[in-house]
Structure 1
């Protein structure tokens, strides 16, 4: 079994432990629940499947059952909070605590680089600007950004991306992008991307007043749709995004960094009975 410090999903850890015990003994879900101090013989199964959560007392019981102490115990408590927190602020706090504990234990948190990259608008913008401005120092790159960012932040972003393999320093001292893709745990990636989308959505609102109409494109449509139409519209938007990426991939004369937001969201609750046959 891997250390708990290698996990970003407490349910996966609990499931992996069950699978490991099952391979080496006649271990049942009843045995698992009993080991953790629960009366219900299927409670641990329900937790692993996401059908039940761990409350504060239950979290302590499970931590005791696994003999977690010190940093492992702290990490497990934050791991549970990260998965079950109802707000992104609490999730961010728990993830930061997990990362701090992992670093102190000299453990690389899987997906930490992806989380850091997508958690701030600065990184993707710098990744585009640094190669497009050969010879530029961080202060000059920062000066090209519409939204405020310091030279120190740009410098740290470049250093981080070089370490992460997203940018590489060329022989002439400039930077170029690599083809490396960042991946991580589904929960942490989802949290970081939501943070990125919030920042970019705010920038989109600001752009309406900041830029002239010929420097931006803002349009929208309010529409009533069925579930089937919704799915078709989403597919159209996905294809549109792919076509845009293809255009960008064939463009070798970058002189500006833009952001494209594709947004489709409800303005009302669903109408009950609207799908019934008439």
Structure 2
């Protein structure tokens, strides 16, 4: 069975624990439930199947039934709290607690580096900037950033990127990227952090409106689309992004670091639904008049 810090889904952890114990000692769901203090023999089976939820108050009893102690017991309870968290901020806060607990015990949570990477716009900026400023000190990199960030923030970001194996130093002591691109990963909290990064980048775009026209390119159009045409436009944007990345990677030289936002979002509700509601309202009024 995998280490507990390789899980973020408590249901999956319970299921894997049960499957392993069933192979080794013929554990039954009834025995497992009784050991955890549940009257229903199949409650934990339903929990693993997503039919029932394990309450935070009962998480400790289940952890005890699985023989978890110390930080592993606490980590299991935090996984249950993470599952109960409502909204992006609460989810990210619960995941951060899991990561902090793991770091305190010198272990790594699966997806924690990706999660931390997407938490701040400074990480992708420095990851692109540092390899193209050979020999530069953090203070010199800080002065090259726009908007400005402190020397301490650059140094902290560089340390994180090295620890996460997103940057490394070559034989001359210059930074190089370990990979050309970064995968978002499959841990649920990582896309949540990525959405927060998109929000941060959107805020930077608003501030960039004041840049000289020669240094920025901003345009937009309001469109009326069907669902089919929306899917076609979205596909076209993905293809455009792929071509732009190809252009950017043609040369190993970088003169400036840019952020490109591709955004397509609704400014109205579904008009078919709205018109159907309007039509139904008119029909009801006609009946009343009759």
TM-score normalised to structure 2 length: 0.81
Instruction: Give the deviation of 1:40 after TM superposition.
Output: 5.6
Cα 1:84–1:43 shift into 2, 3 Å: same
- Computed over aligned residues only, the root mean square deviation of the Cα atoms, in angstroms, reads 2.8
* In 1: Cα distance, 2:34 partner to 2:262 partner: 49
* In 1: Cα distance, 2:60 partner to 2:153 partner: 40
Match of 1:206 in 2: 207
- Structure 2 residue 159 is the aligned partner of structure 1 residue 152: no
Match of 2:54 in 1: 54
* In 2: Cα distance, 1:111 partner to 1:238 partner: 25
How many residue pairs get aligned? The number is 275
Mark the runs of 5 or more structure 2 residues left unpaired by the alignment: 277-290
Mark the runs of 5 or more structure 1 residues left unpaired by the alignment: none
What whole-Å deviation, never above 9, does each CA across 1:121-143 have from its counterpart, x for those lacking one?
A: 11111111112112211111111
SS in 2 for 1:168: strand
Match of 1:102 in 2: 102
What whole-Å deviation, never above 9, does each CA across 1:64-108 have from its counterpart, x for those lacking one?
A: 432434322321222122233112322232222212221222222
Look at both structures and tell me which one has the larger radius of gyration over its CA atoms: 2
Give the stretch that moved more between structures: 130-139 or 183-192.
183-192
Match of 1:193 in 2: 194
* In 1: Cα distance, 2:41 partner to 2:236 partner: 47
Give the stretch that moved more between structures: 33-42 or 225-234.
33-42
* In 2: Cα distance, 1:185 partner to 1:23 partner: 28
Higher relative contact order (CA 8 A, sep 6+): 1
Match of 1:75 in 2: 75
Match of 1:93 in 2: 93
Give the stretch that moved more between structures: 61-70 or 188-197.
61-70
SS in 1 for 2:188: helix
* In 1: Cα distance, 2:249 partner to 2:46 partner: 46
Match of 1:248 in 2: 248
* Partners of 2:55 and 2:80 within 8 A in 1: no
SS in 2 for 1:152: helix
Instruction: Give the deviation of 1:258 after TM superposition.
Output: 0.6
SS in 2 for 1:186: coil
